[in-house]
Amino acid sequence: MATAVMLLWLFGFVVTAAFCVWEHRRRQRGSKDPRTWPLFGAQWEAMANMHQMHCWFQSFFTSSHRTVTLRTFAGRIMYLTLDPVNVHYILKDKFQNYPKGERVHSVLHDFMGDGIFNSDGKIWRKHRKIASFEFSNRKLKQMSLTTFRRDALRLLHLLHTFATSRHSVDLQDLFMRMTMDSLCKLLFGMDGQNLETRLPEDPFGKAFDNVNDIIITRLVNPFWKIQRALNMGKEKIVNENLEVLNSLISNIIEKRKENISVQVRSNAVNFEQKADDLLSRFMQYNEADYQKTYNERELRDFIVNFMVAGRDTTAIALSLFIYCICKHPRVAEKIRRETAELLSLENDHNMEVEEMANKLDYECLARMNYLHAALSETVRLYPPVPRTVLKDDVLPDGIYVKRGAQISYVPYSMGRMEFLWGTDALEYKPERWLKDGAFQPESPFKFTAFQAGPRMCLGKEYAYVQMKMTASLLLHFFRFNLVDNGDVKYRVMMIMPIAGGLNVHVSRR
C-alpha cells in the first residue's frame, strides 16, 4: 500500500513537472530570444552551441530585433545588442554604468589579472593613462615601424623556402610567430626566434594559446570554480599552463630588472634614453607619479594583456585577410597595383625585397587606401568581453536592463547586418570603405572591432601599420592558394582564430 502511494505521488510529481515545462516552453513560442527551460534557462543550448557561438547569436538578430535577451543558469541574464545607438550609449554616454563587471573579471583573473583589459575604475584609469602616454611616444612608433619591417622580411624569407619546396604551410601559425617576435622586441627588447627555418617550438606561445582556448568556456560553464578547486578536467590544463606562463614571464621580468640594475650601477648609459621597450618604460613609473610602483604581479598582468591585444588579433586578422584575397583574387591584384603605383615599381620589376620594404614608411603606408579598406573589410570578426550593468537602466531602443545583468555588443553579427551595411553585407567588398579612392572610416559604434569611447583600442594604428607592411610585401612577391577551398571555421576563444589554421600553397610571382 505504501509503495503504491509513493508511486502515485511520484507519478503526480512527474506529470506536474512535465506540464510546467510544457507550459514554460509554450509561453515562449512567439519569442525572438533563445528559448529557455525552468531553472536552467538557455544554458544547455549555449553549451551545445559553444563551438559556433557567434553564428548562434547572429541567428536571433534581425533589423527589428536588435537586442537579444539570453537567460542562463539560475536566472542569470545577458543582453546582446548590435544597435549602434545602444553601443554608443554603453561605450560613451553611460560608460560608468557599464564596466567589465565582477563576473568577467573573476573568469579571466588568473590569466589576465588586473591588467588594462580586465579592470575597471581606478585601476583601469591608471593603466589607461600610462598606456596612452607610452603609445603616443615617437620613439615607440619609430621602433615599431622598424620592428614590423624586420619581422615581415623574416617572414618573406621563410615563405621563399616553402615556395621552393612546394610544401603547404599554415600561414596563421607563421603570423602568430611573427607577431610574437614583434611583441618580444617591443615589450621586452628581446629578439624572438620564432621565424627560424626549423620553426622552433614556442613554449610561451603554446601555454598562452592553451589557456586562451579553455578559459573563455568558463562563461558558459557554471561549475568551473568547483573544477578549478579540485584541479580536474579542463581547469587542470589551465592551471598547468598558467604555471608555465607565469614562470616564463617571471624570468623575463627578473632579467630586465638585472639589466636595468647593471646599467644604473655602471652609469654607462643614460637609462631614460636607453629604455625603449615597454616593459622597461613601465618599470620607470614611481610612487611620486602614480602612488604605487608597478610590482611584479602588475608587470606580469601588463605583459599578458598586451600579448592578448597585440599578438593574436593582428595575426588572426592577417590570416583572415589572406583567406579573403584567396577567395577574391581581384582584390589582391588591386592591392598590388596600388603598391606598385605608390612605390613607382612599374619600371623596376626586379626590386629586391629589402629595398622595397625600406620604402614602406609611415607616409607611404598611410596612402594605401585600398589596402586599408581591404583590411577593414576583414577586421570585424572579434567577439567582445561582456559588460555588467551597475544600475537598472533603459537602453535607447527601449530595452530595460536590470542591475547585475551582463550586456555585450556583438561585432560578428554587426558586420553582417543588412540594415547596417546594405543588402551586400555578406559580400567581401573593400570598395564600401572608399569614396573617390580615399578611405572613409565608419563610426566606431558601428564598426566596433577596435571598441569605441574611453576604451578605444590604443594599438589600432600600430595594428594597421603591421598588417599593411606585411600584406603589401606578401602580395607583391607571392601568390597564395588555399589547400581547402571551402569556407573557414572559427574557434571560440577570447579572440577568434581559424580552426585548423590557414593552410595554403605558396608560390613566387
Output the known binding site for heme. Answer: 457
The grid coordinates of residue 109 equal: 583573473
Q: In a 3-state reduction of DSSP, which class is residue 265?
A: helix
Q: Please, are residues 413 and 449 in contact by the beta-carbon 8 Å criterion?
A: no
Q: Which of 437, 440, 313, 438 is nearest to 380 (CA)?
A: 313
Q: How many residues does the chain have?
A: 509
Q: Please, are residues 102 and 76 in contact by the beta-carbon 8 Å criterion?
A: no
The grid coordinates of residue 324 equal: 579573403
Helix (H) or strand (E) holding 19: helix 2-26
Q: Which of 115, 95, 101 is nearest to 451 (CA)?
A: 95
Q: What is the DSSP letter of 497?
A: P
CA distances from 132 to 104, 127, 128, 281, 458 (A): 24, 8, 6, 13, 7
Which residues participate in the annotated binding site? 457
Q: What is the amino acid identity at position 299?
A: L
Q: What is the DSSP letter of 453?
A: G
Encode burial over 28-48: b for 16+ CB neighbours within 10 A, e otherwise: eeeeebbebbeeebbbebbbe
| DSSP notation for 241-305 | HHHHHHHHHHHHHHHHHHHHHHHHHHT-S-HHHH--SHHHHHHT--HHHHSS---HHHHHHHHHH
The C-alpha atoms of residue 422 and residue 107 are separated, in whole angstroms, by 37
Q: Please, are residues 121 and 105 in contact by the beta-carbon 8 Å criterion?
A: no
**Residue indicated by cell numbers 527589428:** 64
The grid coordinates of residue 140 equal: 615607440
The grid coordinates of residue 148 equal: 614590423
Q: In a 3-state reduction of DSSP, which class is residue 402?
A: coil
121: left (phi over 0), alpha (psi -120 to 50) or beta: left
The C-alpha atoms of residue 259 and residue 253 are separated, in whole angstroms, by 10
Rounded to 5 degrees, what are φ and ψ at 67? -130, 120
Q: What is the amino acid identity at position 501?
A: G
Q: What is the DSSP letter of 34?
A: P
Q: What CA dihedral angle connects 84, 89, 92 and 96, to 10 degrees?
A: -140
The C-alpha atoms of residue 332 and residue 371 are separated, in whole angstroms, by 9
Q: Which of 159, 246, 240, 145 is nearest to 195 (CA)?
A: 159
